[in-house]
């Protein structure tokens, strides 16, 4: 489709033309990344990493092209005559150029070197449950991230500069405000769950093995039920499920089959489907432009959590799911829908984030946020992290790691240098719950009747079609009329975990 339809301003057209090379590089790198996680032979990693580094450096050079910056500044001066899409292009380009210019090449190279070693060392340290191996790397990584924050600049807190890399405009105080409300509310909900006894901490179906061929049929069937556009998307297998988009007409997701506890494969698929749908429903006229994809990690995670938890683990989804489970997996036939609902909604305060349920998950994120913030402020030293972690997780969830592999070494993120990323997971839950509220909450017709096509359209209208036209906070304000707050998430959790058990039949029937 011609870009002239919505991009009319001459300078904007020139920016988009220049941007196209940057887009094409990103397109190629996405494909290389997908291949790396799926079909690349193991020993291809070294060349692939070098190719990535070269292309990334090239991308940086193109972003820093003075001609491009000149055009962006020119367009900004004429902001009054731009439409929303055009202003979005200026906003995204200014931000991209600002970040690229702020971080010196020397720092990028140092970070790349340290993190590529750190990832290898982290794996070994985790397998040996030995923090001392990883400690010098964490020290360097924290130092590099602190330098980066100084280079990027911030108004209130150095951690703001890092948060902003993953979530445009997100500040430490936004995250603090969310957790100040969410943490005590979650603890209360957990206590109530325990005393009510409806949501189990373990379900026997979690121990059942399944046939992988049958599971592949099930996954295919679920996607057919979602009207997955096979001409625009693929589904493959990988060790860590993910979604990657090459463009609005080529979105790829992956799943993993562990052979036990079928809900794990099902919900990781439904999660990735939520990410994919966002990209599939971006206005195609925005393709190849700086605003032609999801706007931020938090909004993206909001889409995936919405499908995984609010649609997929909701009472409205159970009959739909059970029909497919019964057909392909079989042994679910002897469980009634309420049992299936309980199976997919176990709540278990535990040590490992990636296995956490939707109630306890945010406490895991709070712990990481708290530690990262302190590391960046310099009020916590990397050597103190394991002890701090163990004490804090015990205080939050009542469980204590037996070793550091179950504690501070469990996640790969810090070895990658990703500090400031974790809060976007909770932001996703916050966004998903806000969408749920605006969709009508417990009374939503779309959910109660499981009108999948209408749900997709609802999301497209409000969020997906815009791509990155509006900054995340502005998108939430415009499309949902909400600010960043834990309010809706707390209301959602209270409804689902405290009220719903008494009237579940109304919803499942
Ligand atoms: Mg995700």
CATH number at residue 80: 1.20.58
Ligand 1: distance of its center to the CA of 37 in Å?
Answer: 16
Tell me what the mean pLDDT of segment 363-370 comes to.
Answer: 98
Coil/strand/helix, residue 300: helix
Segment 42-64 shows an average pLDDT of 91
Tell me which of 1 and 176 has the higher pLDDT: 176
CA distance 231 to 233: 6
**Which pairs with CB-CB distance under 8 Å and at least 24 residues apart come from 373-381?**
373/157, 373/159, 373/172, 375/142, 375/419, 376/142, 376/145, 376/146, 376/149, 376/158, 376/159, 376/162, 376/419, 377/157, 377/158, 377/159, 378/146
Q: Is 67 a catalytic residue?
A: no
As a whole number of angstroms, the distance between CA 406 and CA 389 comes to 10
Q: Is residue 55, in this structure, part of any structural domain at all?
A: yes
pLDDT recorded at residue 4? 53
- Residue 303 Cα to ligand 1 midpoint, Å, equals 9
Domain span including residue 73: 3-157
CATH number at residue 474: 1.10.1370.30
DSSP H or E stretch at residue 252: strand 250-255
Chain segment 192-239, per-residue pLDDT in tens: 999 999 999 999 999 999 999 999 999 999 999 999 999 999 999 998
Q: Mark the residues whose beta carbon lies below 5 A from ion ligand 1.
A: 304
The residue from 86, 272, 308, 406 that is catalytic is 272
Q: Which of 157, 186, 212 is the last residue of a domain?
A: 157
pLDDT in tens, 267-303: 999 999 999 999 999 999 999 999 999 999 999 999 9
Residues 371 and 265 in one domain: yes
Kindly state whether residue 162 falls inside one of the protein's structural domains. no
Average pLDDT over residues 186-191: 97
> pTM, whole model, 2 decimals?
0.96
Q: What is the largest CA-CA distance in the chain?
A: 67
Residues 289 and 319 in one domain: yes
DSSP conformation class of 250: E
- Considering the domain architecture, whether residues 446 and 337 belong to the same structural domain is answered as yes
Gap from CA of 275 to ligand 1 centroid (Å): 7
Q: End of a domain among 100, 131, 157? A: 157
Per the structure, the count of domains in the chain is 2
User: What pLDDT is attached to residue 211?
Assistant: 97
Co-location of 346 and 491 in the same domain: yes
Can you tell me the mean pLDDT for 296-319?
A: 98
Whether 465 and 478 have beta carbons less than 8 Å apart is answered as no
Whether residue 115 sits in one domain with residue 253? no
Residues 251 and 115 in one domain: no
Tell me the mean pLDDT in the region 234-253. Answer: 93
Look at the block and give the residue holding tokens 């405000």.
177
Which residues on adjacent β-strands are paired with residue 471? none
- Polymer length of the chain: 509
Same domain, 72 and 153: yes
Computed over every residue of the chain, the mean pLDDT equals: 96
CA of 272 relative to ligand 1 center, distance in Å: 6
Distance, CA of 275 to CA of 292 (rounded, Å): 15
- Residues 181 and 148 grouped into a single domain: no
CA of 76 to the centre of ligand 1 (A): 33
């Amino acid at each position: 489709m011609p870009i002239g339809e919505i991009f009319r301003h001459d300078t904007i057209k020139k920016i988009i033309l220049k941007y196209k090379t940057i887009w094409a590089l990103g397109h190629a790198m996405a494909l290389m990344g997908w291949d790396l996680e799926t079909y690349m032979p193991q020993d291809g990693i070294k060349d692939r990493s070098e190719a990535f580094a070269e292309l990334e450096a090239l991308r940086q050079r193109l972003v820093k092209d003075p001609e491009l910056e000149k055009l962006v500044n020119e367009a900004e001066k004429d902001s009054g005559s731009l439409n929303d899409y055009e202003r979005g292009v200026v906003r995204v380009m200014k931000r991209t150029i600002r970040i690229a210019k702020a971080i010196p090449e020397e720092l990028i190279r140092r970070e790349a070197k340290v993190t590529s070693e750190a990832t290898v060392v982290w794996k070994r340290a985790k397998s040996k449950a030995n923090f001392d191996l990883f400690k010098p790397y964490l020290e360097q990584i924290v130092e590099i991230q602190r330098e980066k924050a100084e280079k990027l600049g911030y108004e209130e807190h150095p951690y703001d500069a890092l948060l902003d890399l993953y979530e445009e405009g997100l500040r430490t105080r936004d995250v603090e405000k969310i957790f100040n409300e969410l943490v005590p509310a979650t603890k209360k909900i957990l206590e109530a769950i325990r005393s009510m006894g409806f949501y189990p901490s373990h379900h026997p179906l979690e121990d059942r093995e399944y046939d992988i061929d049958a599971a592949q049929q099930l996954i295919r069937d679920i996607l057919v039920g979602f009207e997955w556009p096979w001409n625009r998307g693929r589904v493959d297998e990988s060790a860590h499920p993910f979604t990657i988009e090459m463009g609005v007409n080529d979105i790829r997701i992956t799943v993993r089959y562990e052979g036990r506890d079928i809900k794990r494969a099902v919900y990781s698929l439904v999660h990735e489907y939520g990410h994919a749908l966002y990209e599939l429903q971006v206005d195609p006229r925005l393709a190849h432009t700086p605003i032609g994809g999801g706007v931020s990690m938090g909004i993206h995670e909001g889409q995936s959590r919405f499908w995984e938890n609010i649609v997929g683990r909701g009472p409205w989804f159970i009959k739909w799911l059970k029909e497919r489970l019964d057909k392909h997996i079989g042994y679910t036939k002897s469980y009634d829908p309420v049992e299936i609902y309980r199976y997919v909604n176990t709540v278990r305060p535990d040590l490992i984030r990636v296995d956490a349920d939707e109630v306890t998950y945010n406490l895991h994120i709070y712990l990481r946020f708290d530690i990262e913030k302190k590391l960046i402020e310099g009020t916590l030293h990397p050597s103190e992290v394991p002890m701090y972690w163990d004490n804090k997780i015990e205080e939050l969830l009542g469980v204590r790691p037996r070793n550091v592999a179950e504690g501070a070494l469990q996640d790969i993120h810090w070895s990658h240098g990703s500090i400031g990323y974790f809060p976007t997971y909770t932001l996703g839950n916050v966004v998903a719950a806000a969408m749920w509220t605006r969709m009508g909450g417990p009374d939503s017709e779309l959910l109660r009747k499981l009108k999948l096509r209408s749900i997709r359209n609802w999301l497209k209208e409000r969020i997906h079609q815009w791509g990155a036209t509006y900054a995340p906070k502005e998108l939430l304000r415009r499309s949902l009329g909400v600010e960043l707050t834990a309010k809706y998430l707390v209301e959602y959790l209270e409804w689902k975990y405290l009220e719903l058990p008494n009237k579940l039949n109304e919803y499942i029937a």
